[in-house]
Amino acid sequence: MDSEALKKYSALHPKPAGLTLHYGTAGFRTKAEQLDHVMFRMGLLAVLRSKAVVATIGIMVTASHNPEEDNGVKLVDPLGEMLHPSWEEYATQLANAEERELQKIITEICQKAAVNQQKDASVFIGRDTRPSSEKLSQSVIDGISVLGGQYHDYGLVTTPQLHYMVCCQNTQGQYGKATLEGYYEKLSKAFTELIKQVNTGPGESQRHLKIDCANGIGALKLSEMEPYFPKEVLIHLYNDGTKEKLNHLCGADFVKVHQKPPRGLDMKPNERCCSFDGDADRIVYYYKDTTGHFHLIDGDKIATLISIFLKELLAKVGQTLKMAVVQTAYANGSSTRYIEETLKVPVHCVKTGVKHLHHKAQEFDVGVYFEANGHGTVLFSKAAETKIRQLAKEEKDDEKREAAKVLENVIDLINQTVGDAVSDMLVIEAILALKGLTVQQWDAIYTDLPNRLLKVQVADRRVIDTTDAERRAVTPPGLQEKIDALVKKYKLSRAFVRPSGTEDVVRIYAEADTQENADALAHEVSLAVYHLAGGKGAPPQP
């Protein structure tokens, strides 16, 4: 390691005094002007990680659904998964180190993680459309170069596209070609094969879809991909970033949180619409009925639709493949009940955060996971994939072989590395077409229980500790007993509290048989949190 070069370059990316950042589920995220030193140092870390695992590592410059003036960075591990938790710790140490300690901390990481400095390093870089992203990705390149790493800069890509490229590269092309063309070709080919089966009748108009691209990267990449789509796909892009600010009053997060349509998209009754988030790794669907009432179709309903489809196919193929759905405590109780009781598919609940869902889904032959916010995908075990591809080729029974072929195309269409709005959208569109479902029929599979999300400011969120996938509070003493007593007052109700991962607030979720009851329960639980967990400011008002 050239300590002079490190000193010289590090001085060009100085750390603001007194700034401490933490690498969380979403990597680092804050105001763009505070991130220059972090980007440089994540370039350094990516080189170390690449040498440690002897594989290509990804770095994505994005702050997803945050406001345009923010930015962020996350590292991608060799198979397109999130950075290993033990390295999140190193990322935090490196980002917060004083300049004079950089060399020492790098040496410590190399010792702890058994990094062989002699190995080559290779890093893939991608960025979103924020005004600050280009300059910040240049800082990443400085960090990679100082430690002698090789890099490939993909420029503007969606987050899932970068995950995909990293996986392709490290599987020596088995997962696909590590280029944007490779991504477009693989997905559009699988999609085209799937919808060949559709009996086109009078339902032609059903294939129109309006997409709110959150004024982000999704619009750019969808327009690049359009020439690859079959002519049956009629997508109309809104909030394409030419006029308005990224994520401003639009995007999947806005629609999910505010339960209303985005600005800049004009909805007619019963039209199918969807929203991506700023870096295109989340998707939610929605429509307005003839009375003008807004209906949101969130990640839970997306997981349900995909599960119904896969369960039917697996039954036709006649293999004993184990399928499960993975959710968090935020999943609507109606979805859990429907999947377990009607579909008879096991549901597993895990802690909030994509990495927990992804990890659990890997335990099954077919693992479907979605967060209610619309981030999710389907994972197929190596054994299941091999079996399905073999049946699609060799199975003598026509029905079984055809079902296996459909499954094979679903495997190729879904981005198994991470939730991907483009890929998820194509999977959903194919399923709706194949099953001849309208958006209203999809929505009517089950009715969501009314629910309410609240947050209470507390002096220190760490006073709340949870268990049972965050569904029960262990501390402070007496809080869970209080919640249990409140829940008993209402029908079909449940409630839980959990500390926020990012700020000193406690998040509260409540659901019940009516909106009025869900609101009342959420309010009563928030008062209990305020009094028992050190609330700040005035008590919560109903």
- H/E/C letters for each residue in 315-373? HHHCCCCCEEEEEECCCCHHHHHHHHHHCCCCEEEECCCHHHHHHHHCCCCEEEEECCC
Mean pLDDT (the chain, rounded)? 94
Percentage with pLDDT > 90 across the chain: 90
The lowest-confidence range among 100-104, 175-179, 317-321 is 317-321
Binding site: residue ranges?
64, 277, 279, 281, 371-373, 498-502, 507
Catalytic residue among 64, 132, 139, 493: 64
pLDDT band at residue 206 using 50, 70 and 90 as cut-offs? low
State the average pLDDT over residues 149-156.
98
Per the document, the length of the chain is: 542
C-beta separation of 270 from 287 below 8 A: yes
CB atoms within 10 A of CB 100: 9
pLDDT surpasses 80 at 202:
no
Please tell me the distance from the alpha carbon of residue 327 to that of residue 385, in angstroms, as a whole number.
23
pLDDT band at residue 203 using 50, 70 and 90 as cut-offs? low
Residue carrying the six token digits 């009851």 = 517
CB atoms within 10 A of CB 244: 16
pLDDT band at residue 230 using 50, 70 and 90 as cut-offs? confident
Helix/strand/coil for 240: coil
pLDDT digits 0-9 by tens, 286-300: 999 999 999 999 999
Residue type, 497: V
Domains of the chain listed by start with CATH number:
3-156 (3.40.120.10), 182-189+197-293 (3.40.120.10), 299-444 (3.40.120.10), 451-533 (3.30.310.50)
State the average pLDDT over residues 500-515.
89
State the average pLDDT over residues 44-70.
96
- Burial state string for 345-378 with b = 16 or more CB within 10 A and e = fewer than 16: bebbbbbbbbbbbbbbbeebbbbbbbbbbbbbbb
pLDDT surpasses 50 at 205:
no
- Residue 86: active-site member: no
Q: What pLDDT does residue 197 have? A: 80
Binding site for Mg(2+): residue ranges?
64, 277, 279, 281
State the average pLDDT over residues 8-37.
92
Q: What pLDDT does residue 204 have? A: 54
Q: What pLDDT does residue 43 have? A: 98
- Vertex 518, ends 516 and 523: CA angle to 5°? 95
